[in-house]
Amino acid sequence: PSAPSTVENKAERAAAPAPGAASHNPYAVLNWKSQLVAQLERSKRYPSEARVRGEQGVAQLSFSIDRHGGVHHARIVHSSGFSLLDEATLALVARAQPLPPPPPELAGEEIAIVVPIRYNIR
């Protein structure tokens, strides 16, 4: 299994609402962010070859999520420094779909997300 990540600590920044977005229930947005990060973490797999080589790092994953939880335009915006970890990050977002749909408090048809995916060997 993959090592625990500190991504949960960054859930606050994982999905910033668009400027001017309505926020009638701030807990709905926070709950959604927590669910999103948890689902991504459950889908994470540490590549065994990377683990054997001692490769560790953080890949910054960017994507858009539609109103049904579908993922679009997934890409690495900052590499972990290791191609196996970056490839595993793109695979995890595909495996995690559908993600929890955004709450109505977030405006727009698609919500832009950037989330750090941390790979640590313990």
- The Cα 84–Cα 70 span in angstroms is 24
- The Cα 60–Cα 38 span in angstroms is 16
> Average pLDDT, stretch 70-95?
97
pTM of the model: 0.76
- The Cα 91–Cα 95 span in angstroms is 6
User: Directed axis angle between helix 83-95 and helix 26-43, to 10°?
Assistant: 120
pLDDT of residue 25: 77
Q: Which of 58, 62, 115, 48 is nearest to 86 (CA)?
A: 58
pLDDT tens digits for 3-31? 444 443 344 344 444 444 444 676 999 99
Q: Supply 91's token pair.
A: 């695979």
pLDDT band at 122 (very low <50, low <70, confident <90, very high): confident
- The Cα 48–Cα 25 span in angstroms is 42
Under DSSP, is residue 47 helix (H, G, I), strand (E, B) or coil?
coil
pLDDT exceeds cutoff 90 at 50? yes
